[in-house]
């Protein structure tokens, strides 16, 4: 390849055209090089097989080269922060993150939007909301524009968490928007899930499904400042009565029980308590084995989701719409004498059996 202009070659490597060397990227990631971590996360977010394989190799190198004292459970505290748009999740993470880095911890924040509702513009807005934190050497902030990869968000975010852990971050926060689907997803990927609400949101309680509240470990009533303090107190009380949860008394709360925190991300009110609760809750959970049990159960679910994704992609690539079987099934549906499921199932079965044989 002597004919290639060396500067052209350099350009190609820098612009990402040359496949990255996983061992080299892993070395850089372990050395705390943030652009290398970003590059690995970009690979993880891609649904391309070769990118997934590269991301996996990077993880393999990181795990093989990390220090002996580090086990998966001593790596990171995985915390989900969810809530309606504008509830103050990013502002809260900026404040909590700054407290943590001041204590000597390292913090990664992954901002995910499983609903794909936000535009890239508002995600950039997020980055500026965590202005101080994003500049800190011990912090890493990654906004993930999920609109590009709808459907693949859950499992790729899990890989991003793994990569942040591999990079040695003590805390990995996952910020997701919305009340509903996103809790279910974030709850599969994190050890503790916090739902951020604003004063006055107590009226929404009826709309919240019980199943949803089961996934939440803490309610954070944010923006408890200025003229909103009284309303915030009322809101906390409403939730407490409706849910039977402990209010604010974090230190006395039974380990494992959900609590309600009233804070102001802007003034810092209540944040020390919240952070103390998070630390204690995680440490107690680890000592009691509940963190391990949750990770074990949620992995089964995540793996099932990934298996369904893979089967779906594979099925779409092998289905032959012009085959006689397909056409015959369609005929039955046109005639109206088969259900969709009965018409399609034999085709799926024969495709799956075909793979078993080879
Ligand atoms: N008064 C007050 N305003 C706050 C507080 N926290 C956040 N805000 C404001 O609320 C607005 C939204 O804050 P964000 O942190 O971007 O909220 P978010 O939940 O991350 O929003 P999305 O990422 O778009 O879902 C901003 O104007 C913040 O300045 C708070 O504790 N008190
Ligand atoms: Mg935000």
The response to whether residue 89 sits with its C-beta less than 6 Å from ligand 1 reads: yes
Is 200 within the bounds of a domain? yes
- Those residues whose C-beta lies under 8 Å from the C-beta of residue 303, and which sit 6 or more positions away, are none
Choice from 88, 143, 223 to test ligand 1 binding pocket (greatest atom count within 8 A of CB)? 88
25 and 124 inside one domain: no
pLDDT value, residue 204:
62
Residue 175 sits in the same domain as residue 208: yes
Report which protein residue has its CA nearest ligand 1's atom 1.
223
Going by CA atoms, what residue is nearest to atom 21 of ligand 1?
A: 86
Most confident of 25-29, 120-124, 180-184, 249-253: 25-29
Residue-wise pLDDT for 9-40, tens only, equals 444 444 456 778 999 999 999 999 999 999 99
Tell which atom from ligand 1 comes closest to the C-alpha of 267. Answer: 31
User: Is the same domain home to 137 and 148?
Assistant: yes
Average model confidence (pLDDT) across the chain: 82
Q: Which atom of ligand 1 is nearest to the CA of 94?
A: 15
> Closest-lying ligand to the alpha carbon of 109?
2
Does position 134 have pLDDT exceeding 60, yes or no? yes
Calculate mean pLDDT across residues 243-257. 54
Q: What is the 3-state secondary structure (H, E, C) of 177-220?
A: EECCHHHHHHHHHCCEEEEEECCCHHHHHHHCCHHHHHHCCEEE
**Angle, helices 181-189/290-318, rounded to nearest 10 degrees:** 110
Query: In terms of domains, do 126 and 21 share one?
Result: no
pLDDT at residue 160, as a whole number: 93
> Could you tell me if residue 293 is inside a domain?
no
* Element housing 79 (H / E): strand 77-83
Residues 128 and 48 in one domain: no
In a domain, 294, yes or no: no
- Cα(295) to ligand 1 centroid in Å equals 30
Q: Is 141 helix (H, G, I), strand (E, B) or coil?
A: strand
The answer on 322 and 281 residing in a single domain is no
Distance 59 CA to ligand 1 centre (A): 34
Instruction: Measure 136 CA to ligand 2 centroid, in angstroms.
Output: 18
Tell which atom from ligand 1 comes closest to the C-alpha of 177: 25
Q: Is the CB of 222 under 6 A from ligand 1?
A: yes
* In a shared domain, residues 58 and 94: no
Tell me the pLDDT band of 116, cut-offs 50, 70 and 90: very low
Tell the residue nearest (CA) to atom 6 of ligand 1.
Answer: 88
Give the confidence band of 279 by pLDDT, cuts at 50, 70, 90. Answer: very high
Please indicate whether residue 115, judged by its CB atom, sits closer than 6 Å to ligand 1: no
**Among 82, 104, 83, which Cα is nearest to 157's?**
82
22's tokens: 């996983």
- Atom index in ligand 1 nearest the CA of residue 263 equals 31
| Residue 102 · residue 94 · CB < 8 Å | no
pLDDT category of residue 215 using cuts at 50, 70 and 90: confident
Q: Please say if the pLDDT value at position 294 is more than 60.
A: yes
Q: Determine the pLDDT at residue 247.
A: 56
Which whole-number Å values give the CA distances from 351 to 20, 253, 261, 304, 346, in the listed order?
36, 54, 53, 20, 9
Residue 121 has pLDDT above 80, yes or no: no
157 lines ligand 1 (CB under 6 A): no
Q: What is the CATH number of the domain that holds 30?
A: 1.20.5
| Whether 19 and 59 share a structural domain | yes
Instruction: Judge if the beta carbon of residue 111 lies within 6 A of ligand 1.
Output: no
Atom of ligand 1 nearest to the CA of 226: 1
Determine the pLDDT at residue 6. 47
Domain with 344, as residue range(s), is 300-357
Q: Are 260 and 221 in contact (CB under 8 A)?
A: yes
Domain count, the chain: 3
d(CA 332, CA 28): 59
Q: What is the CATH number of the domain that holds 98?
A: 3.40.50.300
Lowest mean pLDDT among 100-104, 194-198, 210-214, 220-224: 210-214
């Amino acid at each position: 390849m002597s004919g290639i202009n060396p500067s052209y070659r350099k350009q190609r490597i820098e612009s990402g055209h040359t496949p990255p060397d996983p061992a080299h990227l892993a070395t850089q990631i372990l050395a705390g090089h943030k652009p290398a971590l970003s590059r690995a996360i970009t690979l993880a977010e891609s649904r391309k097989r070769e990118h997934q394989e590269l991301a996996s190799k990077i993880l393999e190198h990181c795990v093989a080269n990390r220090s002996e004292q580090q086990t998966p459970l001593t790596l990171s505290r995985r915390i989900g922060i969810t809530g309606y748009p504008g509830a103050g999740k990013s502002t809260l993470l900026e404040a909590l993150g700054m407290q943590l880095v001041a204590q000597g911890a390292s913090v990664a924040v992954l901002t995910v939007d499983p609903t794909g509702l936000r535009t890239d513009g508002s995600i950039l807005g997020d980055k500026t909301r965590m202005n101080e934190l994003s500049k800190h050497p011990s912090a890493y902030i990654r906004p993930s524009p999920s609109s590009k990869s709808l459907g693949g968000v859950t499992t790729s975010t899990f890989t991003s968490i793994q990569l942040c852990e591999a990079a040695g971050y003590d805390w990995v926060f996952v910020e997701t928007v919305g009340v509903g689907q996103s809790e279910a997803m974030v709850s599969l990927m994190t050890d503790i899930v916090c739902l951020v609400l604003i004063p006055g949101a107590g009226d929404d309680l009826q709309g919240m499904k019980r199943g949803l509240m089961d996934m939440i470990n803490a309610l954070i009533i944010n923006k408890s400042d200025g003229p909103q303090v009284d309303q915030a107190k009322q809101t906390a009380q409403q939730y407490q009565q409706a849910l039977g949860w402990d209010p604010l008394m974090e230190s006395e709360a039974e380990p494992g029980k959900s609590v309600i925190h009233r804070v102001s991300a802007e003034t810092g009110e209540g944040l020390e308590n919240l952070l103390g609760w998070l630390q204690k809750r995680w440490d107690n959970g680890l000592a009691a084995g509940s963190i391990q049990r949750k990770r074990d159960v949620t992995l089964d679910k995540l793996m099932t989701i990934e298996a369904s994704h893979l089967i779906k992609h594979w099925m779409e690539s092998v289905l032959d719409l012009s085959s006689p079987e397909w056409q015959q099934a369609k005929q039955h549906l046109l005639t109206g004498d088969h259900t969709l499921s009965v018409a399609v199932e034999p085709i799926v079965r024969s495709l799956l059996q075909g793979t078993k044989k080879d």
